[in-house]
Structure 1
Amino acid sequence: MVPTRRGVVNASLFSVALTIPGWPDVVGRMERVRQETAPRIGTPDVDMVIAMTEQLSELDDRFGGRHARPMAAAFLVNTVVPFLRAQAPDAVRKAMMSAASDLCYLTGYMAVDEGLEGLGQRYYLKALELAGASEDHLTYCTTLRGMSVQAVELGHSATSLRLADAAASASPQAGPRMRAFLAGQQAHAAAQSGDVSKAMTHLREAERAMDKAESREKAFGSYDPAALHYHISHVRHELGDLPGAISAMEESDRLTYTVYRRSRVKERATLGEFQMQHGHLEAACVTWNKVLDELPLVQSGRVDRRVTRMFGMIKPHLGNRYARALYERARTETPAALHA
């Protein structure tokens, strides 16, 4: 299902030149949707949307965006949009817009995971609009950060850094875990942009914030030490430190919760690339075989791109028995489109 046809995602397409609306420009200014003959909603309806979003997020973590995104889009179109049109007290309407914003962000994230970059960007912009209307700073900053992640993966370094900085500046009262969440992405974007000093400053900030967050509470399902080591790995890789990048990604893999299958598979594929770039062919083959072990359970365009890259990296080394065995296994167990 493509919700754009029903008017859910009607913002303009994100591009490297996109002007992101600042928090003061969006807060409270979304035009109220026309109230139609719809039932009156209350707090239980908001709670249901939040609970469904959490369930969809768990499905995404386990199985990837290609499985979960169509369900999220259908739920958004068929249930949440009518809720936004329903009669409600102001506090409930505001809470529903906040819940819808979070769902739009998640749906955009899953679209990006599928490889539907433009659709994901439109969802992100709708999430920003709804977050501003509901004065939801958390989702507003999270969405800007998500846009930065997308930009850095597409190689738009300057745009990624601008978005990461905007996310951080829009959340001046962030707690330590949120601060680490934002600073880690700033570090990655700055490193890809070639700003070594800024990258290391933000990385140290993320590490300090994570230390504070971990000393206060253990938060399952949010930015955690595994995610921090993921960012450390990418910063090290961007700065040319392959041994440091490999070590940090191995630590991230060790710390990742088992429920985050899609992330684990994607990041193991990345670790294999780093090992290969460092000349560790057999270690890379071991890592990539672990990717293949779980690949049938994950439907993700980002993972597919990593697997295609794997084929390209091992083809020159088919004289090695480990590379040859991996290559033959992968050809048998993956779609032909990934190794054509």
Structure 2
Amino acid sequence: MRRGVDVTEASGKMRNEGLRTLIDQANWSETKLAHAVNRLGTEAGLRLTYSQSSVAQWIRGSQPSERVRPLIIEALERQLGRPVAYEEAGLKRPMSEGGDERGDTVESLLQLGKADMDPSRRRVLAVGIYSAALSVPLFADVASAEDRERITRPTGHIGQGEVDVVRRMTDKIADILDELGGGHARPMAAAFLVNTVAPYLKAGATGRVHRDMLSAASDLTYLAGWMAMYERAHGLGQKYYLEALKLAGESRDQVTYCRTLRGMSLQASNLHHGLKALELADSAAEAAPQAGPRLVAFLRGQQAHASAMVGGRRAAYARLKEAEAALAKADSRRESVGGYGQAAYLFHVSHVHYENRDLEDSIKAMKQSIKATPIQERQGRLHANAVLAQRQFEIGHVEEACASWGVFLDDYAVLSTSRGDEHFDKMRKSLAPHRKSRVVREMGDRIRMVAAMKA
């Protein structure tokens, strides 16, 4: 008897005892599972209206639609706190997910990039669900993958010049992200991964050049994941991050591996998965090589934020002190670790204060962070001003919030960013009940003008 499904009903369908068992293990009713799937649908950009009767049909043997099966799995994983296989839940794996075997890393990256390039597939990718229960490969495991998977490559040869091309292009795409937004920058990254980087990874090269190319590809893939996260395509961002981890491991690049784990922690914190954010931040710190103080600050800042999310007030402030001390040592050195500097550190300080409900100190630190943000980093400044405005509004400082939202609108008007769209919608909803306020009325005309421009 196949695991997850047994008992033939009169209709000829196989009753799904696997799903029934998982619902019982989750201590849920059929209604609670339906509501959890509907919530995940909203998170993934889908409008779902499942009810108890829908779940009852699944248990009687009806297979839900392909787009819903990953949501059912994710809902159960989040409730149970462990991975759940499709077979265990009595569900057929969606065709879009393929099998469990991913093949070699380059082919996986190539297929992911091709799908992201295709406008008809991009929306499907964007609504892919983020999995909080997804396991992350250890550095030691992925670091040995190259020796296992390396195969004879086709004709063609690359050298250090091609590695430099990838690194320079990654820097250019990051600049476009800051200046114009991820909506413009990410398609370029996907196209470059497919058309240039993947062929480079398959080309002949010395061992050193091949490892350097893997490292450069990992850095670009991490950036693609970061942009997908900022564009609220969290399932896609997670896929890019996992590919970046594999590439970093195969290149023996511990810094990029840790940087990617830290990015995954930030993604988890954005989605309010505090325990997962802390787990990933701690994993990044544990895997970190002996390196410069800026890397230490880079990792400790995220550990501080994640600790505060789960109520670890003392640990959060201890990590902030460690980040501050490390950053002070790094000021006189030229290190490049994700651009982590005073602005990013103060951003973490603000988050820790906010999680601990110290709103005034959170606002003060956020203002200092914005002041320290380089003028060219428009994307980061947009996000920081929107967060600042929301916190000022939350504490009742409506006029100050409107001033911050005004600066946010300056950047939002010229950026293509889904994260900015989210902030814009939240701003409008926050201000709607305060239309009688003079300062809110004055904001109204400008908000309508920006909305018309974005339509």
TM-score by length of 2: 0.70
Q: Residues 95 and 14 (structure 1 numbering): CA distance in 2 closer, same or farther, change over 3 Å?
A: farther
1:159 to 276, 290, 310: 276
Structure 2: distance between partners of 1:74 and 1:333: 30
Moved more, 254-263 or 206-215: 206-215
TM-superposed deviation, 1:37: 3.0
Moved more, 292-301 or 326-335: 326-335
1:83 to 191, 194, 200: 200
1:209 to 326, 333, 345: 326
* Residues 108-156 of structure 1 deviation map (CA, whole Å, 9 limit, x = unaligned): 1111111111111101000000000000011100000000111100111
2:293 match: 176
Alignment of 1:183-202 (within 5 A): 183-202=300-319
| Count of matched residue pairs | 335
TM-superposed deviation, 1:81: 0.3
Structure 2: distance between partners of 1:114 and 1:220: 22
- Say whether the 8 Å CA contact 1:13–1:121 is kept in structure 2: no
Alignment of 1:1-340 (within 5 A): 6-8=110-112, 15-30=131-146, 31-32=148-149, 34-216=151-333, 222-334=339-451
Higher alpha-carbon Rg: 2
Structure 1: distance between partners of 2:166 and 2:245: 18
- Say whether the 8 Å CA contact 2:197–2:217 is kept in structure 1: yes
TM-superposed deviation, 1:21: 1.2
Q: Which amino acid aligns with 2:135?
A: T
TM-score by length of 1: 0.93
SS class of match (1:297): coil
Q: Residues 5 and 227 (structure 1 numbering): CA distance in 2 closer, same or farther, change over 3 Å?
A: closer
Q: Residues 328 and 279 (structure 1 numbering): CA distance in 2 closer, same or farther, change over 3 Å?
A: same
Q: Residues 337 and 49 (structure 1 numbering): CA distance in 2 closer, same or farther, change over 3 Å?
A: closer
- Say whether the 8 Å CA contact 1:33–1:84 is kept in structure 2: no
TM-superposed deviation, 1:215: 4.1
- Could you tell me the percent identity over the aligned residues? 44
Structure 2: distance between partners of 1:158 and 1:134: 29
* Residues 137-194 of structure 1 deviation map (CA, whole Å, 9 limit, x = unaligned): 1110000000011110011111011001111111141321111111001111111111
Structure 2: distance between partners of 1:28 and 1:95: 16
- Say whether the 8 Å CA contact 1:147–1:163 is kept in structure 2: yes
* Residues 190-218 of structure 1 deviation map (CA, whole Å, 9 limit, x = unaligned): 11111111111111111111111124458
Q: Residues 21 and 221 (structure 1 numbering): CA distance in 2 closer, same or farther, change over 3 Å?
A: closer
* Residues 283-339 of structure 1 deviation map (CA, whole Å, 9 limit, x = unaligned): 10011011111212111111211111111111111110111221332122125999x
Structure 1: distance between partners of 2:196 and 2:451: 36
Moved more, 215-224 or 125-134: 215-224
Structure 2: distance between partners of 1:55 and 1:249: 28
Higher relative contact order (CA 8 A, sep 6+): 1
Ranges in structure 2 where 5+ consecutive residues have no aligned partner? 1-106, 116-127
- Say whether the 8 Å CA contact 1:28–1:134 is kept in structure 2: no
- Say whether the 8 Å CA contact 1:66–1:113 is kept in structure 2: no
Ranges in structure 1 where 5+ consecutive residues have no aligned partner? none
Structure 2: distance between partners of 1:327 and 1:194: 38
TM-superposed deviation, 1:13: 7.4
- Say whether the 8 Å CA contact 2:181–2:416 is kept in structure 1: yes
- Say whether the 8 Å CA contact 2:255–2:289 is kept in structure 1: no
RMSD of Structure 2 on Structure 1 (CA): 2.2
SS class of match (2:324): helix
SS class of match (1:7): helix
Structure 2: distance between partners of 1:118 and 1:335: 30
- Say whether the 8 Å CA contact 1:314–1:327 is kept in structure 2: no
SS class of match (1:334): helix
Higher helix share: 1
Moved over 6 A (4+): 218-221
